[in-house]
Structure 1
């Protein structure tokens, strides 16, 4: 998987750690394409594709969506985090990432307790490590923390708008620039929530 952000970085158009609020200014679009054995979800920000997620039809426990309807085929928070492991795999984990990951885990599990060995604990350990080293290659990246996220969660659920808002708030509070990372945790959870809302809408259309 190759994101537009990676292409822009190699072209020298953006820096590796640049953040932006372009999503709020130009909008985000999410499209879904059925393919044999699964589906491909494409997210574009300001007209540029920032990520493509391939989702296999994995069995997920029925989840009550925001409108109180059990919705099958939704994208879970865990799957959204796994997408981040692809779209932002080479970004060193910082405090804003860790806060967003913790918020996502809380939303997925329904528990405020940080589980030893869970995603939030791994992210906080990565932050502590990264603050103690200087070389980029020595830092722990998001891909290392979020790969296999669904297996690292004690429970999982379909992402909702409320989940996305909670994750956004956590990341913004812990980012010095008060901005979210393109293609990061917030973007993936928000994209999943928007797709799930579209699925609910289509169910009643």
Structure 2
């Protein structure tokens, strides 16, 4: 009678396995928050996620790593968290050069044709992630988490900083989040609770205004989230974590016009 052999633990998919990187980054497993940030960066410049591109590769690897229990749904690689991801666009007559980087290392580059515009050459624009895009990244990383008061407070703080107004718009993100938190507090069924993904999907379009995330924005959102959390901590992969990751990325962004 044959016995089933125990399954060997699955090896993590590391950056060095799928992308041309070296050093410490090459040995790091690709995490879900890394992939979410690259998806937002690609969408910012390209208008969509490039099929078969860097973000797509990272998402596939992160999903497999999560399924294998190697990384958590809200995890971010320390190198990526510190140095960020970026997508840059260099325009020259008749084409634009797209360069994608992770942790300061170039991992992809391709050329797209563009209409020729006289008098404008050598324009470089780099992706600065907005608060709205950071909220959308939260929907990717912890979208299945029921909305709690700490989440609602963080979303409200993010909306205030994105719009520059303390007035909470009826039907806006903050209003939706507060209603969801109140509903969930009295809802006995976990399945029926309103999730963060329900509120934050398409967050950029739901905001009346938006802005690039800064360290000050991240600090304000984190303070609101922790003040309203009984444990006085930020949620891994949550609203504060996503805004902080976007702010760190933006510190490395330089616009040359």
TM-score by length of 1: 0.69
Alpha-carbon spacing, 1:23–1:162, altered in 2? closer, same or farther (3 Å): farther
- In 2, distance between residues paired with 1:39 and 1:134? 49
Q: Following TM superposition, by how much is the alpha carbon of 1:107 offset from its aligned partner in structure 2, in angstroms? A: 0.1
CA distance in 1, matches of 2:248, 2:165: 24
Partner of 1:176 in structure 2?
230
- Of structures 1 and 2, the one scoring higher in RCO (CA 8 A, sep 6+) is 1
2:82 is paired with a residue whose SS is: strand
Name which of 29, 32, 37 aligns with 1:3: 32
26-35 vs 128-137, which moves further: 26-35
> Where does the alignment leave 5 or more consecutive residues of structure 2 unmatched?
1-30, 34-61, 90-96, 104-124
Instruction: Give the match's secondary structure for 1:136.
Output: coil
Cα distance change of structure 1 residues 139 and 12 upon mapping to structure 2, 3 Å threshold = farther
Structure whose CA Rg is larger: 2
Q: Measure the CA separation in 1 of the matches of 2:101 and 2:134.
A: 11
> Quick check: 1:30–1:41 contact (8 Å CA) kept in 2?
no
1:31 and 2:80 matched: no
- For the residue of structure 1 that corresponds to 2:84, the secondary structure is strand
Q: Where does 1:141-160 land on structure 2 (aligned, <5 Å)? A: 141-160=195-214
Preserved CA contact (<8 Å) 1:76 1:159 = yes
- Who is 1:136 aligned against? 190
8 Å contact from structure 2 (residues 84, 248) kept in 1: no
Tell me how far 1:32 sits from its aligned partner. 1.7
Is the CA contact 2:88–2:126 (under 8 Å) kept in the aligned structure 1?
Answer: no
Cα–Cα, structure 1 residues 113 and 133, in superposed 2: closer, same or farther, change >3 Å? same
Match of 1:89 in 2: 143
Q: Paired residue for 2:41?
A: none
Q: Distance in 1 between matches of 2:200 and 2:99?
A: 21
CA contact (8 A) 2:86 2:127 kept: no
